[in-house]
Amino acid sequence: MKKRNIAILGATGSIGTQALDVVRAFPDFLEVSVLTASSNADLLIAQALEFKPAMVVIVHESGFRKVQDALKPAGIKVFAGEEALQEVVQLPRIDIVLNAIVGAAGLKPTVAAIQQRKDIALANKETLVVAGELIMDLVKKHDVSMLPVDSEHAAIFQCLMGEEQNPVEKIYLTASGGPFRGKDRAFLSTVTKSQALKHPNWVMGAKITIDSASLMNKGLEVIEAKWLFDLAAEQIDVIVHPQSIIHSIVQFLDGSMKAQMGLPDMKLPIQHALTYPLRKANDFERFNFLDYPSLTFEQADSQTFRNLNLAYRALQEGGDRPCVLNAANEVAVAAFLADRISFLEMSELIEATLRQQNWIQKPSLSELLAIDQQARLVAQNLIG
């Protein structure tokens, strides 16, 4: 069988390193041609020496010399800078680009890859939050596959297989509830970043871990689902399921529901996206019902965790609102991680940024990139 050639953007992160675990499990089927990282030169070098890609990118120039010295003898081309991300995805032999960059920084490389007719395995949900409509138009225009890696969306995608003729009534995105499930605002007013960084079910990068604690992650996922599956906001519901075994659910017009389940292990949705439409045998741990005698469900507490409603509102208002929401959230999370604002102030900052930013109904890609930058400045000024 022809090998599949992949580019992994954000190779040194949580998704990136797990994607390389998946590649290790299928050496006869998956092959890596591009690896990129923001600044972790040592890990990028080790990955490149193991997987022998044709090219690597280290975004921060400060790491360039070190990576170059280490990889040049192995015949691996090394580039630095943000622009290089858009160039390396164009390498002709690449079949799939796995975008595992965190934040809106993932948008331009996604666009470049689609324009070169590469299939996309998308972990970078911010791509669709910022520019979902434009991206899905490009996916259609260039006739590429957009394969979700986010576990909830991978679940919905799998539930929809074979249902092409059947409209969806609604979907339920499951949420773990994060480390602060059941807590009230008095409790949240004093939580620290080390408490917020302890997720009960998943080990992930810092930004998505904070987003999970604040429910912004689920808000971003509602917007992501809207564009991936062409749904109205009213068709997307969130249900808290603390065990994270059911990864999401589709309900059809006859009331029948399909759910996709499995252990909370991101290697499963990563493998699904990289081997789609095949399901390849692996030796990852299997689910045991007796370890999970009860799977439980509860309503999301959107009074306490205001981000979920902020995201629904941004989606309903449309235009540039989700882009502003995302930019303000990225600034808010960075400020919380730097001990500059409190946990609850994150929602306040996002709401205040949305209030101060002008509204654009049908922004182009270049307008969205400018709005993203402006919203970051507004949010930073609000922090002071």
Binding residues for 1-deoxy-D-xylulose 5-phosphate: 125, 151-152, 176, 199, 212, 217-218, 221
In the chain, count H helices and then E strands. 16, 12
Find all residues with CB under 8 Å of 381, minimum gap 6, and list them: none
Judged by beta carbon distances under 5 to 8 A according to partner kind, the member of ligand NAD, Mg ion, none in contact with residue 125 is ligand NAD
What H or E segment, with its residue span, contains residue 148?
A: strand 146-148
146 binds, among ligand NAD, Mg ion, none (CB under 5 to 8 A by kind): none
Determine the Cα–Cα distance for residues 379 and 350; give it in Å rounded to an integer: 7
Question: Binder to Mg ion among 31, 119, 126, 150 (CB under 5 A)?
Answer: 150
Whether the CB-CB separation of 258 and 159 falls below 8 Å is answered with yes
Please say whether the beta carbons of 90 and 69 come within 8 A: no
Residue with Cβ nearer ligand NAD (64 or 202): 202
| Touching ligand NAD, residues 64-123 (CB under 6 A) | 100-102, 105, 123
Under rule CB under 6 A, residue 350 binds ligand NAD: no
Q: Which does 178 bind (CB under 5 to 8 A by kind): Mg ion, ligand NAD, none?
A: none
Radius of gyration of the chain (CA): 20
The dihedral through the CA atoms of 106, 111, 112, 118 has a sign that is positive
How many residues does this entry show for the chain?
A: 384
C-alpha distances (whole Å) from 76 to each of 8, 53, 72 are 15, 7, 6
Question: Can you tell me the distance from the alpha carbon of 185 to that of 276, in angstroms, rounded to the nearest whole number?
Answer: 43
Cβ closest to Mg ion, residue 124 vs residue 374: 124
Among 125, 181, 241, 376, binds ligand NAD (CB under 6 A): 125
Smallest gap, in angstroms, from Cβ of residue 127 to ligand NAD?
8
Using CB under 6 A, which of 6, 16, 53, 139 touches ligand NAD? 16
Residues that bind Mg ion (CB under 5 A): 150-152
Name the residues that contact ligand NAD, by CB under 6 A: 10-16, 37-38, 40, 59, 100-102, 105, 123-126, 150, 202, 204-205, 207-208, 266
